[in-house]
A = this chain, B = another copy of it.
């Protein structure tokens, strides 16, 4: 079940990467690259810094196939407003929640301390989108907008803490997922955001 959610998250992130490529008028290869990079960027950074190499998509190439195919299909579906307005934000919240929870658990399984596991969860959730934006020549959206990374932080924290209190059950995983999705959807619904740090040096 978690595995399927993970593949679903990969698909959703690939779609968001391909849509970004469409806004920048990239060619077919550009669409593929942005889809794949967005989908696997976070997990790759996690595995590389942990030293869990070869990274997950080398061990299990299904992730690459899912991301590539999702990216290509997106080209044909991109004209439907439905995809942008309804499906994507909700699917993206699910993808984010899955990635942060799975990222944290993978780090824990690798034996890191809890604070690092939380960080790894957040990184898995947000780094792919940051790469997408940098490749498109933009300041990463996640650094300036509403409660996005914060939802990942909540989800990963809940999973890690509950996993210590109640080891051996799946409760930690599911509650982490639920918290992250809920906070993210609430942030979209009511336009919640973190305070901006606006500073212009006077000189």
Q: Do A143 and B30 have beta carbons less than 8 Å apart?
A: yes
- Residues of B with C-beta under 8 A to A28: 194-195, 197
Q: Do B48 and A81 have beta carbons less than 8 Å apart?
A: no
Contacts A49-B54, A53-B50: A29 and B150 contacting too (C-beta < 8 A)?
yes
A70 interfacial by beta-carbon distance below 8 Å:
no
- Residues of B with C-beta under 8 A to A149: 29, 33
Q: Do B196 and A26 have beta carbons less than 8 Å apart?
A: yes
- Residues of B with C-beta under 8 A to A134: 134-135
**A107 nearest in chain B by CB position:** B58
Q: Do B135 and A137 have beta carbons less than 8 Å apart?
A: no
Q: Do A78 and B25 have beta carbons less than 8 Å apart?
A: no
A93 interfacial by beta-carbon distance below 8 Å:
no
Most buried by B among A143, A145, A149: A143
Q: Do B30 and A144 have beta carbons less than 8 Å apart?
A: yes
Q: Do A143 and B21 have beta carbons less than 8 Å apart?
A: yes
